Amino acid sequence: MTTPPVAPGVSTGDGPRLPGAPEAEGTDRVICHVDMDCFYAACERLREPDLADEPLVVGMGYEAGESHGAVATASYEARAFGVESAMPISEALDLLPRRADADGGGEEGDPGDAGAVEGTGHYRPVDMEFYESVADDVKAILHDAAGTVREVSIDEAYLDATSVGWDEAETFARGLKRRIESAVGVVASVGVAPNMSAAKIASDHDKPDGLVVVRPGEVRAFLAPLPVEALHGVGPVTARELRSMGVETAGDLAGTDPTVLAERFGERGRSLHERANGRDDRPVEPQGDPKSLSGESAFVEATDDRERKREKVRELASEVAERARSRGALYKTIGVKVVTPPFDVNTRARSLPGPVDDPDLVERVSLDLLGEFADARVRKLGVRVSNLEFGGEQAKLGTYAEGRAGGSDGDRAGREREAPDRSRRGQTTFGDF
């Protein structure tokens, strides 16, 4: 695959860097933008390793023989055949190479993969519950790596890594990429820059599996040759208007009189001018309170040892309960995640009569839920508290048994049993459909 050209002097992890410019382009903040590559497709490959290197389309709303349904994400192999995000699935499947049907695996064009041959296209329906489970693993790493994280969507986030410093910024980013791939099994592209908008552009600049570092003093030179569409806030309509003004690149936009831009685009014109000049003062701030807090840990090899599993859950329960307490969070649901080979994700949760801060209860409920998997071989375990409230008053649950008996059918009262998971460019969020 041909990767996008990189501005001279900008580091992609190995090459030279631009010399420092005398004028400042913001602060010396170190901002990382982490963007998971083809995330939905990467998740599908976790549980179906045979899909690796195959053209893969993940979509929603599609049924064989129907024309509705749209592509949520496409692997890079599928994009090579012209498949794009939001394209009708029927059109996408027509572009992909057909699977062999000589073995009776189905009619030509069937999106299933029975009888597949090398290079055959594959289709999988969106499974958001599974993707969110994998995303939780990634986010746990991000929150552990940096004090301040802004989660933008299921597959991207900003980290304020200023405490790391610019001398260690590239090492930090490379370690973050390695940790995500090793612990979770998916690949991230990371951009590092002094501000959020430049970091986002950097993460997209050398995909897939990219690492681009843009240091203070390099931002304008890095942005200058890029098409105006690369800037946040410049969509197709705005790009056409800018081109009608003779503005083709970010460098052209940076050199345009901001008054002229304001007359044409209003206050947004001034904002675009600032971004093109590498200026963006926005701090990395979390978007509201989290909806859940979780901790997960994998075994080196899958195990069916009951005590090892229980000890792991005890450790995770203590960690999660402490994080909730440190944030002033009360929780109304306690759950566990049990990953069994090859990559089947099973979640179980129990709802409480009211919000609490009770580490002992987190441990007892988690161990109780784990009991269903006492004899199962397990490769990873997780504990989660959710339905969080901040600054509220804790419910008086009395005994644990009382907390379980808040409804009909005895043991099922207050218990949620969730079924096991089964089954920007290039990816669109679920809400877009």
Please list the active-site residues: 156
Can you give the chain as a three-state secondary structure string? CCCCCCCCCCECCCCCCCCCCCCCCCCCCCEEEEEECCHHHHHHHHHCHHHCCCCEEEEECCCCCCCCCEEEEECHHHHCCCCCCCCEHHHHHHHCCCCCCCCCCCCCCCCCCCCCCCCCCEEEECCHHHHHHHHHHHHHHHHHHCCEEEEEECCEEEEECHHHCHHHHHHHHHHHHHHHHHHCCCCEEEEEECCHHHHHHHHCCCCCCCEEECCCCCHHHHHCCCEHHHCCCCCHHHHHHHHHCCCCEHHHHHCCCHHHHHHHHCHHHHHHHHHHCCCCCCCCCCCCCCCEEEEEEEEEEEECCHHHHHHHHHHHHHHHHHHHHHCCEEEEEEEEEEEECCCEEEEEEEEEEEEECCHHHHHHHHHHHHHHHCCCCEEEEEEEEECCEECCCCCCCCCHHHHHCCCCCHHHCCEECCCCCCCCCCECCHHHC
Amino acid at residue number 322: E
